[in-house]
Structure 1
Amino acid sequence: MKAIVAMTATIEALCSVLRTSRGQPILKLQSAEQRASLALDLLSLGSRAALGVSFLLSVSDRLGFYGAPGERGVSWGTFERFLVYAAKVNAFAPAPMIPFLGTAATVLEFLFGVALVLGLALRWAAFGSAGLLFLFGSAMAISFGIKSPFDYSVFAAMCCALFLGLAGSTRWTVDSSLWCSTRLRNVQ
């Protein structure tokens, strides 16, 4: 009986939404500017999450948080194994530079990942991510051939980062919260 009551309430709620929207998608009830703003906010949120989480998962793997090398889902498992990979990607670089390059990439990926997920210093993080991805893709192309960075969508991720940098801070970012609270304090 409770299931029937719950189902009836759900159907009534859906009918109410349909009556409100006159059979049209809810977004069509908003102005074109509101739809564009919402679309930009959602696209930015999804792009930030995808790029930021990708960076953080990669760092987690090379620090061994997924498990030991060779286990299912583990690419590197240790920072030392990651440095072996970094040496292959940067085959043109002198061997003494590899620990610096690997460490710098790891630190930057962590910082950019956190900043992107939170939406903190978003433009700096986005343009920095785009630069890092451009360098990574270029190194892959030099060491493995031009097809390699496209196989791993490195340049697609770079374009995603450029989009975020150009879009700037949208809703659902720490930046927009800080900006709004600063603006409110200045008004008072």
Structure 2
Amino acid sequence: MKNRLQDIPQLFLRLAISITMLSAVADRFGMWGENSAWGNWENFVKYTKQLTFFLPESMGNLSAIVATFLEILFPLMLILGFKTRIAAVGSGILLLIFALSMTFALGVKAPLDYSVWMGSASAFLLAVQQKYSYSTDTLIKKS
């Protein structure tokens, strides 16, 4: 019973990271309506260009596409518990890049307000877990 209770926080962490990242994706496609930060793809691309000021402007659109693809892929992998360690490391790196970019482009306060550092650290913490309960990884390992 004790092991099962310890597994719940790990599952909660996987879901929290995933839902947070998928929420950001939903925002850039206008799914949050009045409560959105960007509200549409064009605003998100403009924001991405602001954060990636160190890249050539032509890379802004590609950066937005790659970030969005990874912000869909890694959360789905985490939700399913498929290649969980890879998804957690990928999420941690992606969020770390986002936090650093926000810090250099917007200042220290912005990534703190959006808990991006905490999201990155949480993903890295998830990546070093010994096993992943309630996951496809565990089911595959058992068979």
Same fold (TM over 0.5): yes
Equivalent residues, number = 143
Structure 1 runs, 4 residues or longer, greater than 4 Å off = none
Contact persistence 1:122–1:169 (CA under 8 A): no
Contact persistence 1:119–1:169 (CA under 8 A): no
Correspondent of 1:61 among 27, 43, 62: 27
Q: How many Å separate the matches in 2 of 1:170 and 1:176?
A: 6
* CA deviation map 1:50-75 (0-9, x unaligned): 00111112112212333xxxx42222
The reply on whether 1:102 has 2:64 as its aligned counterpart is yes
* CA deviation map 1:72-112 (0-9, x unaligned): 22222221111011112222322111011111100000000
2:17 aligned partner, one-letter code:
L
Q: 1:137 maps to which residue? A: 99
The reply on whether 1:127 has 2:93 as its aligned counterpart is no
Q: How many Å separate the matches in 1 of 2:88 and 2:24?
A: 17
User: 5 Å matches for 1:28-177?
Assistant: 35=2, 37-66=3-32, 71-177=33-139
Q: How many Å separate the matches in 1 of 2:61 and 2:73?
A: 18
Which one has the largest radius of gyration?
A: 1
Q: How many Å separate the matches in 1 of 2:142 and 2:106?
A: 47
Q: How many Å separate the matches in 2 of 1:168 and 1:120?
A: 15
Q: How many Å separate the matches in 1 of 2:19 and 2:130?
A: 19
Q: Give, in angstroms, the shift of residue 155 of structure 1.
A: 0.8
SS in 1 for 2:25: helix
Q: How many Å separate the matches in 2 of 1:65 and 1:169?
A: 35
* Structure-2 change in CA distance of 1:112 and 1:168 (3 Å): farther
Where structure 1 has 5 or more consecutive residues not aligned to the other structure, the ranges are: 1-33, 182-188
Where structure 2 has 5 or more consecutive residues not aligned to the other structure, the ranges are: none
2:24 aligned partner, one-letter code:
S
TM-score (norm 2): 0.92
1:47 aligned partner, one-letter code:
L
Q: How many Å separate the matches in 2 of 1:117 and 1:176?
A: 13
Higher relative contact order (CA 8 A, sep 6+): 2
2:127 aligned partner, one-letter code:
G
Q: What fraction of aligned residue pairs are identical, expressed as a percent? A: 32
